[in-house]
Chains A and B, each alone.
Chain A
């Protein structure tokens, strides 16, 4: 492998780090240049899956990532329609990702952005990711397997494309004619955003970068534990480095024990991100990677995305999501239930290999 190929992920990470700072400079909420948990939550809100008026917006970054990853996958022949590897369980794991992510208030990428913005409360979440990855791997190395995905007809791959084209049209209609639907926040984090075209454009760039580098925030620790392979973790470090430098340059680095749009409960941050990491390893990729794999025509990943949107709706409708005020009673209950469900799935699908010997 050439030196460039080996370090492409580092370069991609650096760019994503800088991009995050730029998006915040132009209007995104603090340390939220890109955040797959927060943005799925905002999209769920925009669609009316929850009615928290503070977090509703059709984040154009996600729609840009759709376009970027989709055309990148088509161009580089990674568009290979397949699915059918226990979609229902993947939907549930998607929900669990959002429960964990909305307790911490962010995805692994935002955890890095938060640290790079001087928010020390991110440390609990960042430590939670390897903890969750370790839990997942414990079962993965003991036979956990959701089953094989099989080839699908090409038209099936058009379903997620259609869904996201509709989101793009909804965004355009809203911007052009100020329609009541989709719902966009007028105050709170949902109302804070960079100009839509900038978000969309940088999203396209990020989509291509993510697709080409295979960056995966759950995979980074997984590969270290399993094979002592640092390739994916370099992407992690790239984002941190890029965001740190860009934040410092743009005057966005503000050291604080608890930063903006965050809370300082260490245990909740650790366990929340732990649940996200656990569920992500059981799915085979972090919330960002699920999006990119959707555009590589992996229908199971699309189901996981739908699970995350539903999870955001549930979490906010039932008052389970944390806020800068802290974690609710319901939030703690959901966290406990989330772990119970994740362990049950992990254990149950590890038994299968023991029973059906021979079937890989």
Chain B
């Protein structure tokens, strides 16, 4: 459980995606918490396009996205 967790709750579009992209470039596994389904969709599209493996766990309005990298 040493993978960093980035808290993107409350950030306007497209900051969550920009944060994830910055983190991806480091090449380490990490997780992101977001609180809007549009952020989940945007991040999923970015990760899908990059061919990165990830899981999405919804928790109420929030979602945890775990990126294996």
Among residues 203 to 223 in chain A, which have CB atoms less than 8 Å away from a CB atom of chain B?
A: 214, 216, 219, 222-223
7 new A-B contacts at CB < 8 Å, known A296-B36, A360-B8, A360-B11: A82-B10, A85-B10, A145-B12, A223-B42, A284-B13, A284-B15, A360-B6
Q: How far is the CA of A35 from the CA of B40 in the complex (A)?
A: 28
Whether A219 contacts B10 in the complex (CB less than 8 A), given A226-B18, A227-B49, A231-B45, comes out as: no
Q: For the complex, would chain A's binding face be called helix, strand, loop or mixed by DSSP majority? A: loop
- Is A242's beta carbon under 8 Å from chain B? no
Q: Which of A85, A283, A360 gathers the greatest number of chain B CB atoms within 10 Å?
A: A360
Q: How far is the CA of A143 from the CA of B56 in the complex (A)?
A: 26
A125-151 to B contact mask, C-beta < 8 Å, 1/0: 000000000000000110001101110
Let me know if A226 and B12 touch, CB within 8 A.
Answer: no
Let me know if A78 and B11 touch, CB within 8 A.
Answer: no
How close is B42's CB to chain A, nearest CB, in angstroms? 8
Whether A360 contacts B19 in the complex (CB less than 8 A), given A85-B12, A145-B11, comes out as: yes
B residues contacting A by CB (< 8 A) are 6-15, 17-19, 21, 35-38, 41-42, 44-46, 48-49, 61
CB-contact partner of B14 in A77, A80, A85, A140, under 8 A: A140
How close is A14's CB to chain B, nearest CB, in angstroms? 20
Interface residues on A, range: 20 to 34
Let me know if B21 and A227 touch, CB within 8 A.
Answer: yes
Q: Give the nearest-CB partner of B15 in chain A.
A: A145
Q: Give the nearest-CB partner of A145 in chain B.
A: B15
Let me know if B61 and A148 touch, CB within 8 A.
Answer: no
- Is A285's beta carbon under 8 Å from chain B? yes
Residues of A within 8 A of B11 (CB): 145, 148-149, 360
CB-contact partner of A77 in B38, B42, B61, under 8 A: B61
Let me know if A285 and B10 touch, CB within 8 A.
Answer: no
Residues of A within 8 A of B15 (CB): 140, 145, 284
Nearest first, the 6 A-B pairs at minimum CB distance are: A284-B12, A148-B10, A149-B10, A284-B13, A80-B61, A214-B38
Q: Give the nearest-CB partner of B13 in chain A.
A: A284
CB-contact partner of B45 in A85, A229, A300, under 8 A: A229
